Chain A
Amino acid sequence: MFTGASPSLPRFGLRFLFGVVWDPVHGIFGVAPEILGTLVTSGIALLISVPLSIGAAIFLSEHAPAWLRDPVGYVIELLAAVPSVVFGFWGLAVLVPLMQGSVDPWLQSAFGWSPLLGGPNGGGRNILTASVVLAVMVTPTISAVTRESLAAVPRDQREAALSLGATRWEATRLAVLRYARTGIFGGIILGLGRALGETMAVTMTIGNKNAFSGSLISPGQTMSSLIANEFTEATGKLYVSALVEIGLVLLLVTLLVNIVARLLVWRVVRGGAVAGGA
């Protein structure tokens, strides 16, 4: 991939990462808006998904009656079996009209004064919509790893808390969540890795505009959606190698994220050091 990117790597250098103009016609390639788009969509997706996933995992492993646990946990994990292009199509057909028709106008009327939620809403295809689809997609990952981490908490930790007179929820908060935090964090990072690289679902819902306006209800672009959109149109060596270079950036970022995530999850699920540290 380094060789594939060789025409554009030396030509733009760091300007590639920080440039804001993507103009294939004039051979200017800067991907700062796309990098921002990737980070912002993934960040919002985690903001939505993390509380829901952890909440659901807590309910299933600590509170739900035994007969409900596995079936419901399994149904949530079924979400992971839905192909990402179907998520994208669902986002386009169901979520985009919903966002355009009710959510975005409401956000605008309530928070329109803020630059974060101002401006035209791009017909429902925008950063926020893509983030919501991503949130749905990373939820099974995060909740599955959280459930595994909670299951790895020894029973005597729960019992120690209960025997001090803790309620179920207090025992979860005091003993279980603290003990499992390394694994849960690993699951979140794993979800982040998935969100950063997701292509089809984002491409179909983000609006595909090569700019980052700062407003969440404006269209945008991510690194992966840019590749998917323009690869087939890329003419000329420089254009193609610029797209390959984006792939390279994405590879390095997701590689790093995944290595961190796996190290954390392995530590918990494969035994070894206890989730320690004060």
Chain B
Amino acid sequence: MASPTVRRAFNWVAVALTCACVVVILIPLASILYTAIVLGGSVLSLHFLTAGPPAACTIPSGVGCPVGGIGPLIGGTLALVGLASALAVPIGVLTGIFTSEYGGRGLGRAVSFFTDVMTGLPSIVIGVFVYGLFVLYYPRIVFSAITGSIALAIIMIPIVARTSEESLRAVPHSVREAALGLGIPKYRGILRVVLPSALPAVATGALLAVMRAGGEAAPLLLTAFGNRLGFVGLDQPVGSLPPTIYEFGTSGASNWLADAWGASLILIILMLGISIVARLVLRNRFRAFGGG
């Protein structure tokens, strides 16, 4: 028989091992943040945020290289994500309203299951899909702001839909009954009463989708393509941050590498910022409803 001492020792070994897992997992995060802050922080300046990208420079030390910035690319990312949001947020919220308020158990569950599955699809596949569609029907604008934002919108819709659904479900049933009891038609009750009381959470879902879309590079390689000028027209290719990090990061040019770290740091700050805000809003939301 295993003695109690052995079992107790085993218990502590197990606790120590699981604790070590947490530490090991945190190492890459720390390393990413550290590297981005050290290498990216050194190039951050107002000039970096506004100027256009520099010419590639192969002097290893980087001394005497032209110093540029990523201004137009930030603009390109904002344009793509803005356009994508204009498409995805209404569609996503309406889907969420459908699944939580109208869908019932059959169709509603099926739709929300489908959106769940959609969130797991690789973004490159979505890029290939949009590319394939346009190359067949509108080959002229295959590489453009339009295709880029459509691809990003397809990535965003399921995220917006699922978070909207969850936040609408979190609104107590009594709120709906109160609206119905006043003789308001169901759809107006939802739009005027239920949706507003879930609005912070719905908006947070949209923000999370923006975060996801803003960091995507793979689908943009096949759709928005890229340039050094950022957004120059709906039917023109758009340069944006993530694909530029890929391009500059895999180049040998010393000043491009530094710029890629600067761009990474900015993306990380934006993404983590959004994620933290989202967390705080959602938590307060659920507290407001007494955990329900």
Interface residues of A (CB under 8 A from B): 1, 3-5, 51-56, 58-60, 62-64, 72, 74-76, 78-79, 81-90, 92-94, 136, 139, 143, 167-170, 172, 190, 193-194, 196-200, 203-204, 224, 227-228, 231-232, 240, 243-244, 247-248, 250-251, 254-255, 257-259, 261-262, 266
- B31 interfacial by beta-carbon distance below 8 Å: yes
B46 / chain A contacts, CB cutoff of 8 Å? none
The answer to whether A199 and B124 have CB atoms under 8 Å apart is: yes
Asked whether, in the complex, the Cβ of B35 is within 8 Å of the Cβ of A78, the reply is no
B102 within 8 A of A: no
Q: Is B177 an interface residue (CB 8 A)?
A: no
Cross-chain contact B135 with A240 (CB below 8 angstroms): yes
Interface assignment of B88: CB less than 8 Å from any CB of chain A? no
A227 and B125 alpha carbons, distance in the complex (Å): 9
Report whether A81 and B113 are in contact in the complex, using a CB–CB cutoff of 8 Å: no
For chain B, the bracket of interface size reads 35 or more
Among the 9-residue stretches B8-16, B61-69, B92-100, B182-190, the one with 4 or more Cβ atoms under 8 Å from chain A is B8-16
In whole angstroms, how far apart are the Cα atoms of A75 and B28 in the complex? 12
A204 to B120, CA, bound (A): 22
B113-A262 in contact (CB<8A):
yes
Residue of A nearest to B274 (CB): A81
Q: Are A167 and B128 in contact (CB under 8 A)?
A: no
Counting from the closest, the 3 A-B pairs by CB-CB distance are A197-B122, A83-B215, A4-B132
Residues of A within 8 A of B271 (CB): 81-83
Given contacts A59-B15, A93-B35, A258-B120, contact A228 B218 (CB under 8 A): yes
Instruction: Return the contact of A169 from the options B10, B123, B218 (Cβ within 8 A).
Output: B10
Report if B157 contacts A (CB, 8 A).
Answer: no
Contact partners of A240 in chain B: CB under 8 A: 135
| Measured CA separation A76–B25 after assembly (Å) | 7
Whether A255 contacts B268 in the complex (CB less than 8 A), given A3-B136, A199-B123, comes out as no
Contact of B7 with A258 in the complex, beta carbons under 8 Å: no
Q: List 14 A-B contacts (CB under 8 A).
A: A1-B128, A1-B132, A5-B132, A63-B18, A79-B28, A82-B271, A84-B216, A84-B218, A85-B245, A94-B31, A197-B123, A224-B124, A262-B116, A266-B116
Q: Which of A1, A81, A88, A169 contacts B275 (CB 8 A)?
A: A81
- Which residues of chain A are near B113, meaning CB under 8 Å? 262, 266
A170 to chain B, nearest CB (A): 7
Least CB distance, B44 to chain A, in whole angstroms: 16
Q: Is the CB of B15 within 8 A of A227?
A: no
Tell me the interface secondary structure of chain B in the complex. Answer: helix
* Supplied contacts A94-B35, A251-B129, 16 more A-B pairs, CB within 8 Å: A59-B22, A82-B268, A84-B215, A84-B218, A85-B264, A90-B35, A90-B36, A93-B35, A93-B257, A143-B25, A167-B7, A197-B122, A199-B217, A200-B246, A232-B221, A257-B120
Residues of B within 8 A of A5 (CB): 132
State whether the Cβ of B222 lies closer than 8 Å to any Cβ in chain A.
yes
Q: Report if A224-B218 is in contact (Cβ < 8 Å); known contacts: A190-B120, A193-B120.
A: yes
Query: Which listed residue, A51, A59, A88, touches B19 by the CB 8 Å rule?
Result: A59
B80 at the interface (CB under 8 A from A): no
A224 touching B215, Cβ below 8 Å: no
A56 to B125, CA, bound (A): 31
Q: Do B21 and A59 have beta carbons less than 8 Å apart?
A: yes
A222 to chain B: closest CB distance in Å? 10
The residues of B that contact A259 with a CB separation of less than 8 Å are 117
Which of these, B22, B131, B222, contacts A72 with CB under 8 Å? B22
Assess the A231–B222 pair: CB atoms within 8 A: yes
| Contact of A86 with B268 in the complex, beta carbons under 8 Å | yes
Contact B15 A169 (CB under 8 A): yes
Q: Which of A58, A82, A254 contacts B120 (CB 8 A)?
A: A254
- The verdict on A85 contacting B246 (CB below 8 Å), with A52-B24, A74-B279, A244-B132 known, is yes
Question: How far, in whole Å, are A232 and B221 apart by their CA atoms in the complex?
Answer: 8
Instruction: Please state if B249 and A53 are interface contacts (CB–CB under 8 Å).
Output: no
A204, B217: Cα distance in complex, Å: 12
- Cβ-neighbour of B15 out of A168, A247, A257, A261 (below 8 A): A168
Shortest C-beta distance, A270 to chain B (Å), equals 9
Cα distance, A1 to B222, chains bound together (Å): 14
Nearest A residue to B279 via CB reads A74
Q: Which residues of chain B have C-beta atoms less than 8 A from A79's C-beta?
A: 25, 28-29
